[in-house]
Amino acid sequence: MTQPTAPRQLPDVASDAAAAARPLDWVGMANIALPLRIASAGGESLQVAASVDVSVDLADADARGIHMSRLYLRLQDAFVSEVVSPAGLRRVLQSLIDSQAGLSSQARLALRYDQMLLRPALASGNAGWKRYPVEIDASLADGHLRLALRFSVEYSSTCPASAALSRQINAERFSEDFAAARPLSTGVVSDWLASERGLAATPHAQRSRADVRVELRPQFDELPLTALIDALEHALGTPVQTAVKREDEQAFARLNAANLMFCEDAARRVAAVLSSDPRIERFAADVEHYESLHPHDAVATVSGTGPAHG
């Protein structure tokens, strides 16, 4: 009878002493493909594909390297069974530190994925999906959890200066076309406004984007991503649309006319939302209007803190 072969002892050079004793700030892996379970706008959980960065500090100055495979194996199923939450992120980060058997005292994660939200059309009964790129940054050091959300919101911006100039040209054409007309009936004016002559100039508008980063206060149990997106889109007033029929396009044009803004205006609207949210410790936002008038873009940056603790 053949005797079972004893398992071979494999070399482990990572456990050798470092050539030059020195602790390292962070060591880990980037762009790991993992499934992630997140909360949908309706409250149910969804599984999405995510790209994950993970790292721990190498606090032991004499150790050559960390146990990298342990990080990967701990992450493999970490977010499959439960929705990502502050409490869950704390547990995972502590598990990553524990996996290093004394080599590390801190851990951090970056989770990147696309949040899909179903958005209703403005006037018709249609709806369509919109994608929001999201990154969750989480770190744990000395039992202290730090959480940040990064996400982007796209919207339309119509230039107030261009709108004023367009109104002036439209008024001049009206005066020119009706200089000798007396009296004027509302029907004649209405027909003129609906004709090509009634539109002498149009203001320029462009797709625009707000890139937002918020640091969250740790006492809240959920990540307020959808709530923040909804609040910012409401404040900006003209979020880009998905399913559009003619009545939706007309409604969107009406909204733009009633919602003129420079990039400075948009940045202040974003700041007003974020500075009043009690879940936010601090924030920073970059607003960019992709100019249709110029070959360059208009940009604004704003930062601040959430409301003082009650």
Distance CA 306, CA 271 (A): 10
**In terms of C-beta density within 10 A (0-12 exposed, 13-18 middle, 19 or more buried), how is residue 299 classed?**
exposed
Q: Specify if 296 maps to a domain.
A: yes
CATH code assigned at 222: 3.10.270.10
**218 and 100 housed in the same domain:** yes
β strands within the chain, DSSP E: 24-39, 45-58, 106-120, 127-141, 144-158, 205-216, 280-289, 298-305
Kind and range of the H or E element at 55? strand 45-58
pLDDT digits (tens, 9 = 90+) for 157-216: 999 999 999 999 999 999 998 888 778 889 999 998 999 998 889 999 999 999 999 999
Whether 50 and 190 map to the same domain: the answer is: no
Which DSSP symbol is given to 268?
H
Judge whether 19 lies within some domain.
no
Do 230 and 133 lie in one domain? The reply is yes
What token pair was written down for 301?
Answer: 């940056």
Is the full-model pTM beyond 0.85? yes
Asked if 144 and 166 sit in the same domain, the reply is: no
Closest by CA to 205, choosing from 256, 245, 267, is 256
Name the residue with tokens 């920073």.
284
Indicate the average pLDDT of the chain. Answer: 91
pLDDT per residue over 258-274, tens digit each?
Answer: 999 999 999 999 999 99
For 32-78, the pLDDT digits (tens) are: 999 999 987 777 788 999 999 999 999 888 888 999 999 999 998 88
Tokens of 12: 């482990």
Both 139 and 167 in a single domain? no
Phi, psi of 206 (to 5 degrees): -155, 155
> Could you list the residue range(s) of the whole structural domain that residue 193 is in?
160-198
- Helices H, strands E: what count in the chain? 7, 8
Rounded CA gap, 235 and 272, in Å?
9
**One domain for residues 135 and 182:** no
Name the nearest CA neighbour of 23 among 66, 54, 76.
66
177: number of Cβ within 10 Å: 14
